[in-house]
Structure 1
Amino acid sequence: MTITPGADYIGRFAPSPTGELHQGSLLTAVASWLDARQHHGQWLVRMEDLDPPREQPGAAEAILRALEAHGLEWDGEVMYQSEHHDAYQACLDELARRELIYPCNCNRQRLQSLTAYDGHCLQHPPASGPVALRVKTPASGEDELCFDDLLQGRQCQQLRSEVGDFVLRRKDGLYAYQLAVVVDDIAQGITHVLRGCDLLDSTPRQLWLFRLLQAPAPQFGHLPVVVNPEGQKLSKQTFAAPLQAVQASHNLWLALHRLQLQPPPELRGADCQTLLAWGLNHWHRGAVAALRSLPESSVP
């Protein structure tokens, strides 16, 4: 299978090395790879290694080996967020220069009582101690931020009461996901993002930051997440089993089935290249449009 990627479509898969890939993360990787390749686009891999306390030693390398074992080849060099702290700080410095961020020392107990941050520390600046940095949203009115999701349709959040003044750098000094993902999407020229529905509520925050940075935002599409019998998203926290390379063909067949593409039974046991080639010919976004979750047990 020979594919010549172009520059009109640049997608990405951005796992966090908190554990190995599982069936849920493979579904996202396969869907984003198929969408990029079907549009003759680039498919980049970015390692979101911003939170050392949560990272698992060797997980990043295991993730890359798993992608290779399943035939999911990426374009260019893998980006590691841990190597881009200077870019995140430069963005914070620019937002500070424009007076678009402010320090916050609210504790977790207070924050848990809020739907969206209420601007307390903007009105009462902390005098000392460790602080997070928050970005400002409009102080008055209920302006909506809306976008058309490639899979989930029209999505809207109120900037003040739902998006709120969200954190760009944490109290412990670590850069927040919302900041890093936007800075990196801009740097890599990302045009399309297919990722799990668990990140759907984060998208308006990222779109707000794209707007403040006067940068074009990608088109977002949010895929259904695979859930266990208790209805929990597959993850390290819910003890999702890591993928086994020796079962790569079976894993891909399951992913194509969960993506509602209905691979024929005779494809069971086919090699990864054959399965991905079949997937390229049959992938369409409408197959999973509007689906939010997929039971892990839904595959025969």
Structure 2
Amino acid sequence: MADPHNNPPDPSPNDTRIEKAHWLERAVSLGVAVWIVALVSFLILSQREYDDTSVYFLKILLSFSMAVLVATSAGFINLAFNVPGMAIRAGGAIAVFIFVFTQSPAVPALKLNPKIEMNNITGMDFRSLEAPDNPKFGTSPVAVTVPLGFKNVADKSRNGTWKRSTVKIQMYGKDVTFDSFYFVKLLPGVGGTWLSSGQLSEAKATDLIEGQSFTQEIMHLSQSGPTWGSFLSYLAEQKDPITVSVSAEVDGGWQSRACKFDPTKYAPALAKTVAEYKRLAGYVSVICEV
């Protein structure tokens, strides 16, 4: 018999239990999703460095939590349907998972990049690759040693890396490039005291620790550069200032500094060495002018 007052029938105990179970399921799922979002946000924004595998799983967690939020939060999807509604709800969650995972930042963007600053060049050393008493002294290659300094100055950054450096000088209208080859410690002496094997090591990539400075004397060599004798002749002929370009590859790209010096300031000392010792000078250490 129909209810004359058109009142809806009282829900059965089974319906009430099912409704409570649905709300409990949604509350637990929503809580877990919010917790995952908060955790991932904390990990990404904290001062930590992650490898590619860690970032990959962070993206999975973030995508999963966003999908759970969409699937369990009322208002996103109409939950009044029965089985079809479940199908639509699942479809929406999967779509959100794929969207968040594929559109989240790329792995390198999730890592804080270092900020490397290169110091100005204050001086450099040109010398023969062979010792002055070597018969091939005048025809040996030229070695250019530059004291290079860097600092990783960015706040909350990861470590950077000095990778390599080059020195470029123009001789007779042609650029000559010298590449980093050794870390050295120069010991000047009469006529150019040369280096022992214990004073040099291979110039390998070096970490630039956050907040710390890196300073090293780096020797640069050229496979097609001038001989030591021709280089000294070039210096003796020049009357105008010479500009040498020094470039270093660090995290974030290349940085360059210039060293400008007046060769006429060193000509008298070079001529005096020839007059007194009857041979070429073994090295020329120049001071860069501002």
TM-score (norm 2): 0.18
Question: Hey, which of these two has a bigger chunk of strand by percent?
Answer: 2
Which protein shows a greater Rg?
Answer: 2
Question: Hey, which of these two has a bigger chunk of helix by percent?
Answer: 1
Query: Relative contact order: is structure 1 or structure 2 higher (C-alpha 8 Å, sep ≥ 6)?
Result: 1
TM-score (norm 1): 0.17
